[in-house]
Amino acid sequence: MRSLRSRRRSRFGIAAAAVLLSVLALAACGGGGSSGGSGGSSTSSGPAQSGGTAYFAEGTQAAPNYIFPFASLQYFSVTNMNQFQELMFRPLYWFGKGATPDLNLSLSLANNPKYSSGNTQVSFTLKPYKWSNGEKVTAQDVVFWMNMMKVEKLNWAGYAAGTLPDDLSSVTTSGNTVTFKMTGKNNPYWFTYNELSQITPLPMAWDISANGQKAGSQACGTASFQDVTVKTTKTSKGSTVTPVSAAAKSCAAVYTYLTGEAKKLSSYATNPLWQVVDGPWHLSGFTTDGKATMVPNPKYSGPVKPKLSKFVELPFTADSAEFNALAAGKVDIGVLPPSDITSNATTSGTCTIKPGANNPRLSNYNLVAGNAWQINYFPLNFNSTGNNGQAGKIFSQLYFRQAFQTLVDQPAYIEHIDKGYGVPTYGPVPVCPPNNFAASELKLGNPYAYSPSKAKALLKNNGWTVKPGGTSVCADASKCGVPAGTPLSFTLQYVGGSPFEDQLMHAEKSSWAAAGINVNLTTSTFDTVLTNAVPCSGGSSCSWEAENWGGGWIFAPDFYPSGEDLFQTGAGSNSGSYSDPQMDNLIKSTTVGTAKLDQYGVYGAKQLPVIWQPTAVAATEINKKLQGVTPLNPLGNLNPETWYFTK
């Protein structure tokens, strides 16, 4: 079943990675952070003052448009979740502590989860939080979410067969403690970071199915998990879930009602439903263009109370429009478009990026760079029928992938194309931001450092006649792994429109050409590239060879960088259909077993299931008078309650 854990991070991870890289780095960390973020300082210029309005620039064309936390795939984005919903509706567990992606218990609704019975059971106790309507946040609010998940799992963006709620045999409560019994053993890290991370307690005020109903009038919020029964029917196209018990039917009715209300964007700020919050903020204004105005929740019972009197998120049509807003001093936090970066950043160690001098028009801002919890890569299609049926076979040769990766000069691209605002990706576990998951071996450097001579030697030693600047040809089929005469040529499609991506792709093409690897570059839209880059198994629809959507993968809301979604055989987001028994075993040992990610990380770095690419890092501008913003949260979470202005 675990091999089917496929879809969960896909939409969020891929889309968010490519579109919202810049937005991510804007996020501010919550309290309790300790480790320093990379980047510039945020010098205090005077005594703190309470009040004031902070303006936050949303990502270009990435305005929030969905308020209900139980979101389906199309609304599952950093913009909607991390930078909108979670300011009002707190998730059970908060991730991002300082500049690290770690579990942040001080901002979580529950205490540390306790695993028992050989890691087949987990219990957690809720802290004494309150909803803004005065009700307590209770264990039953967690069950409300789980009940909803049971009935509407196909509409929950985070769902994949075999994962929550399928991997639970029971959910029980005792006082303010919730206990999950699992159907099998799980790695506690994996379960906390990838499963519990998905839960958001729901208020009983939402347990209604029509306007004017009394809060809790439906049974979805009050029923036990066991009383919610559904019938799952498997068809050739997948599964369907039909509610059976009365409680399950009420969950379906509540879901229909709440999603209907969530489609009324113009009423977000006035609908009483969405005013019942347990987070530090509630909406006071919302436009259908995506301008969101939030004010402090006066009954917020969490640890860090807002100091600002208002927090406003502003939509922008383009990077240039956002830059103009920064230059005009109309926003307090925004991303500096790469084209407006006037001085290169320098890197200290692997992850610490020290911004260069700021753009002269932005003298009232501090320039800060923060890592995102992500990896960047593009897949090769191991089943590709391209190149007369030989492309997939070429990609399956480790020596080819090694030669190909060896020609990717990540440090040079970061320096010359990303203007220093980038970090290299060497494997499936991010080395940056600094974390406890990456193997120390990878922290030391790139297993495939740039070397054209090594690349050429790899190809020559494996039967290829190398033609630098031309197209190498297989001369010895027994060594190449493909018929003699096969040209080393294929097509790489990437998302067009970004001059930086264009530069990167052409630089890499030029580098690959040095070893006679002829890569034809084509461009298309983001959606088209994503639609093409799906796992396939032969036939005319499997002719794609390499697709680059430009952003790799952001680990959220499954924060444990294990590879079951990406590189396990048959995984839905295993775009290139990579399959390797040892990789499967290593992944399994980190999800079911208790192995650390070291071996998996090193193996993935060396086996090259994808081609690793440099990860661009956003340059974030922060008003010098706005404090409490840094270090930036690598997961994209916003905590404006920690922000304050100085005089």
Residue 179: CA atoms inside 13 Å, Cβ hemisphere, count? Answer: 12
Asked if 74 is part of the footprint of another protein (rule: CB under 8 A), the reply reads yes
Contacts (Cβ under 8 Å, ≥6 apart) of 117: none
Residue with Cβ nearer another protein (227 or 527): 527
- Closest CB 265 distance from another protein, rounded Å: 6
Residue with Cβ nearer another protein (154 or 444): 154
- Closest CB 391 distance from another protein, rounded Å: 20
Residue with Cβ nearer another protein (126 or 534): 534
Per-residue contact flags (x/-) with another protein for residues 342 to 361, judged by CB under 8 A: -------------------x
- Closest CB 332 distance from another protein, rounded Å: 15
Residue located via tokens 């379960």? 191
- Closest CB 541 distance from another protein, rounded Å: 9
**Could you give the dihedral angle defined by the CA atoms of residues 570, 576, 579 and 583, in that order, rounded to the nearest 10 degrees?**
-100
Number of residues that bind another protein (CB under 8 A): 49
Among 105, 265, 304, 595, the residue binding another protein under the rule CB under 8 A is 265
- Burial of 603 per CB tally in 10 Å (0-12, 13-18, 19+): buried
Residue 227: CA atoms inside 13 Å, Cβ hemisphere, count? Answer: 14
Pairing of strands 374-375, 626-627: unpaired
Task: Give the footprint of another protein on residues 211-250 (CB under 8 A).
Answer: 235, 237-240
- Closest CB 238 distance from another protein, rounded Å: 3
Cis peptide before 69 (omega within 30 of 0): no
Asked if 105 is part of the footprint of another protein (rule: CB under 8 A), the reply reads no
Sole window of 66-74, 414-422, 462-470, 619-627 interacting with another protein (rule: CB under 8 A):
66-74
Sole window of 2-10, 119-127, 168-176, 635-643 interacting with another protein (rule: CB under 8 A):
2-10
Per-residue contact flags (x/-) with another protein for residues 304 to 343, judged by CB under 8 A: -----------xxxx-xx--xx-xx-x-------------
Task: Write the DSSP string, 167-199.
Answer: TEEEEEEETTEEEEEESS---HHHIIIIIGGG-
Residue with Cβ nearer another protein (34 or 320): 320
Asked if 7 is part of the footprint of another protein (rule: CB under 8 A), the reply reads yes
Residue with Cβ nearer another protein (149 or 534): 534
Task: Give the footprint of another protein on residues 9-28 (CB under 8 A).
Answer: 10-11, 14-15
Among 55, 70, 75, 643, the residue binding another protein under the rule CB under 8 A is 75
Task: Give the footprint of another protein on residues 149-208 (CB under 8 A).
Answer: 154
Exposure string for 569-586, b = 16+ CB within 10 A, e = fewer:
eebbbbbbbbbbeebbeb
Closest by alpha carbon to 563, among 586, 580, 585, 587?
Answer: 587
- Closest CB 235 distance from another protein, rounded Å: 7
Sole window of 98-106, 135-143, 284-292, 460-468 interacting with another protein (rule: CB under 8 A):
284-292
Residue with Cβ nearer another protein (303 or 329): 329
Residue with Cβ nearer another protein (361 or 479): 361
Residue with Cβ nearer another protein (232 or 436): 232
Judge whether 93 and 26 are in contact, CB under 8 Å: no
- Closest CB 266 distance from another protein, rounded Å: 8
Alpha-carbon distance of 204 to 140, in angstroms, equals 9
Residue with Cβ nearer another protein (346 or 531): 531
Task: Write the DSSP string, 359-373.
Answer: PGGGTTEEEEE---S
Check residue 536 and report its DSSP letter: -
Residue with Cβ nearer another protein (76 or 191): 76
Residue with Cβ nearer another protein (154 or 477): 154
Residue with Cβ nearer another protein (307 or 310): 310
Query: Helix H segments across 364-451?
Result: 386-389, 391-395, 398-406, 410-416, 440-443
- Closest CB 577 distance from another protein, rounded Å: 13
Sole window of 4-12, 130-138, 190-198, 249-257 interacting with another protein (rule: CB under 8 A):
4-12
Task: Give the footprint of another protein on residues 526-585 (CB under 8 A).
Answer: 526-528, 530-531, 533-534, 572-573
Among 3, 32, 35, 73, the residue binding another protein under the rule CB under 8 A is 73
Among 27, 28, 59, 66, the residue binding another protein under the rule CB under 8 A is 66
- Closest CB 414 distance from another protein, rounded Å: 28
**Residue 506 tokens, joined:** 């052409």
Full strand arrangement of the beta sheet holding 48-49: 48-49, 644-646, 626-627
Residue with Cβ nearer another protein (235 or 348): 235
Q: What is the SS3 assignment for 247-272?
A: HHHHHHHHHHHHHHHHCCHHHCCCCH
Among 44, 61, 226, 339, the residue binding another protein under the rule CB under 8 A is 61
Angle in degrees, 0-180, between the axes of helices 581-591 and 598-607, rounded to the nearest 10: 150
Among 114, 263, 299, 506, the residue binding another protein under the rule CB under 8 A is 263
Residue with Cβ nearer another protein (102 or 261): 261
Judge whether 55 and 310 are in contact, CB under 8 Å: no
Per-residue contact flags (x/-) with another protein for residues 287 to 306, judged by CB under 8 A: xxx-x---------------
Task: Write the DSSP string, 260-329.
Answer: HHHT-GGGTTT-GGGG---SSEEEEEE-TTS-EEEEE-TT--SSS---SSEEEEE--SSHHHHHHHHHTT
Other Cβ atoms within 10 Å of 340 Cβ, number:
18
Residue 27 dihedral angles phi and psi, to the nearest 5° = -70, 145
Alpha-carbon distance of 352 to 486, in angstroms, equals 44
- Closest CB 530 distance from another protein, rounded Å: 4
Decide: helix, strand or coil at residue 37: coil
Residue 335: CA atoms inside 13 Å, Cβ hemisphere, count? Answer: 26
Closest by alpha carbon to 124, among 99, 149, 103?
Answer: 103
Residue with Cβ nearer another protein (476 or 527): 527
Task: Write the DSSP string, 127-162.
Answer: -S-B-TTS-B--HHHHHHHHHHHHHSGGG-TT--TT
Binding residues for another protein, rule: CB under 8 A, are 6-7, 10-11, 14-15, 61, 65-66, 72-75, 154, 235, 237-240, 262-263, 265-266, 287-289, 291, 315-318, 320-321, 324-325, 327-328, 330, 361, 525-528, 530-531, 533-534, 572-573
